[in-house]
Amino acid sequence: MCVVDATEAPARRAAARYADVALMRAASSAQAGAVRGQLRADAAESGRAGRRPAGAGQPACGPGRRRAGGQRGHGGGGPRPTARGPRYRGGPADPAELIAAWHQDGTADGFHLVPTEPRRDLERLVNATVALLQHRGLFRTFCAGSTLREHLGLARPAGRCAVTGGAAS
């Protein structure tokens, strides 16, 4: 599986041509939609229209305290724009709201949540934000496949030694 940070234009072209997943750091739904549209156009130009990379939004998240889990904006007033995309210092509902809004807008195929401070924030993201998304039907409650490729619905690529046309001599 090939995952590429497609935030910058040169990497975006490589992602469109080779990647299975393209990570997009965007400050808004509109910016994410523009990056995703460019990825799809570049993938089609490279002959990958049917195998274009999945565009995954990549917000930085630092959810607030667990006891305020359902409250929006807890501990910091929600998302703050940064050069690397939105940074969430609010409650666990804030990243859930972002994901729901971008999902509704159709601007990302999925999300790669980046905990601001992993030792502190990862458990809060899993136990609170993911739980809110599951309650809304926006996050699976079990994984049917056995590989990340299967979870993402990506086709298995042909092996390097596969015969592509006619019989081998």
Based on the domain organization, do 45 and 84 belong to the same domain? no
Q: Three-state DSSP class for 39?
A: helix
Q: What are phi and psi of 80, to 5 degrees?
A: -120, 125
8, amino acid identity: E
Residue 160 falls inside a structural domain = no
Q: Please report the pLDDT score of residue 99 as a whole number.
A: 85
pLDDT average, residue stretch 43-51 = 82
Which of 86, 112, 88 lies closest to 30 in space, CA to CA?
Answer: 86
Based on the domain organization, do 82 and 114 belong to the same domain? yes
For 48-93, write each residue's pLDDT tens digit.
Answer: 877 777 878 876 665 554 444 444 444 455 567 666 666 766 677 8
Based on the domain organization, do 68 and 132 belong to the same domain? yes
Residue 36 falls inside a structural domain = yes
What percent of the chain lies above the pLDDT cut of 70? 73
For 83-105, write each residue's pLDDT tens digit.
Answer: 666 676 667 787 888 888 888 88
Q: Indicate the number of domains in the chain.
A: 2
For 97-133, write each residue's pLDDT tens digit.
Answer: 888 888 888 888 888 887 778 888 888 888 888 999 9
Domain ranges, residue 127: 59-143
Number of helical (H) and strand (E) elements in the chain, helices listed first:
6, 8
Based on the domain organization, do 2 and 47 belong to the same domain? yes
Q: Can you tell me the distance from the alpha carbon of 51 to that of 16, in angstroms, rounded to the nearest whole number? A: 9
